[in-house]
């Protein structure tokens, strides 16, 4: 991926003291959100785009993950006509593979269920196998390809769907994920 920047020095809390809180994204978080966004996405969203998303009212649900008060990740959901679209999810490279993306996605999925959403969808780069593995865990399955969706990196997107999220089976899936997180 192009445009990645990795911090050369660690600062703030260490991943071992992980006590992760998931809280609604507010304006005051956006500087940190955009700093992460710029590290993990080749075409990062701007601060003003995040501002308009969090002002989106009942159709939007955006959250940040914090450790020791520091924003280490974020995720967003757009809800329209019974469908929930995961618009973004990013975790600070220093904090990846510690269950933070899983916690964020769990939050979005639970919010979607509580808002009566029937199906969830998202797009992911074909080469982003790590993210796809996470999405599979949440019941997302590939449903199609959008050609050159990520034109800036000349890459196709896989469209994934998780259907029937109101079903008891889906709630059991989320409960199992939550339980694993609590004991990990
Ligand atoms: C995708 C992303 C949000 C995942 O966040 P994370 O906090 O690192 O993910 P988690 O630690 O919760 O991982 C949960 C599971 O997903 C899978 N996974 C996540 N990242 C992975 C990777 N790099 N390689 C393989 N599997 C991966 C694993 O199954 C993992 O479980 P495990 O660690 O117990 O094996 C994060 O890697 C990221 O910000 N990537 C850059 C931005 C991006 O690609 N966003 C998604 C766009 S569609």
pLDDT above 80: residue 53? yes
User: What is this structure's pTM?
Assistant: 0.92
Helix (H) or strand (E) segment spanning residue 66: strand 60-67
Give the number of the atom of ligand 1 that is nearest the alpha carbon of residue 104.
12
Determine the 3-state secondary structure of 110 from DSSP.
helix
pLDDT above 60: residue 162? yes
- The reply to whether ligand 1 has any atom less than 6 angstroms from the CB of 99 is yes
Please tell me the predicted confidence (pLDDT) of residue 12: 54
Judge whether 165 and 79 are in contact, CB under 8 Å: no
Please tell me the predicted confidence (pLDDT) of residue 69: 94
Work out the pLDDT band at 17, boundaries 50, 70, 90: low
Sign for the pseudo-dihedral over CA of 68, 47, 92, 104 = positive
- The reply to whether ligand 1 has any atom less than 6 angstroms from the CB of 107 is no
Query: In whole numbers, what is the pLDDT of the chain averaged over residues?
Result: 92
**Strands, DSSP E only, in 101-162?**
119-125, 141-150, 155-162
Ligand 1 center to residue 127 CA distance, Å? 13
Average pLDDT over residues 101-114: 98
Please tell me the predicted confidence (pLDDT) of residue 2: 33
Domains and CATH numbers, the chain: 17-183 (3.40.630.30)
Work out the pLDDT band at 18, boundaries 50, 70, 90: low
The residue whose CA is least distant from atom 17 of ligand 1 is 134
What is the C-alpha to C-alpha distance for residues 26 and 50, in angstroms, rounded to an integer? 10
Please tell me the predicted confidence (pLDDT) of residue 4: 31
Structure tokens at 162: 């998780």
The more confidently predicted of residues 72 and 152 is 72
Work out the pLDDT band at 6, boundaries 50, 70, 90: very low
pLDDT above 60: residue 154? yes
């Amino acid at each position: 991926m192009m445009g990645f920047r990795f911090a050369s020095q660690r600062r703030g809390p260490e991943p071992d003291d992980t006590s992760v809180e998931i809280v609604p994204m507010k304006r005051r978080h956006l500087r940190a959100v955009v700093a992460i966004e710029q590290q993990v996405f080749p075409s990062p969203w701007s601060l003003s785009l995040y501002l308009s998303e969090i002002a989106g009212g009942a159709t939007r649900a955006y959250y940040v993950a914090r450790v020791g008060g520091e924003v280490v990740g974020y995720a967003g959901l757009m809800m329209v006509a019974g469908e929930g679209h995961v618009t973004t999810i990013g975790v600070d490279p220093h904090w990846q593979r510690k269950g933070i993306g899983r916690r964020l996605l769990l939050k979005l999925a639970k919010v979607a269920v509580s808002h009566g959403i029937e199906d969830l969808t998202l797009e992911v780069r074909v080469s982003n196998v790590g993210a796809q593995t996470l999405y599979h865990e949440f019941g997302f399955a590939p449903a199609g390809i959008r050609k050159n969706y990520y034109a800036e990196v000349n890459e196709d997107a896989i469209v994934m769907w998780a259907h029937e999220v109101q079903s008891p089976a889906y709630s059991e899936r989320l409960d199992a994920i939550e339980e694993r997180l609590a004991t990990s």
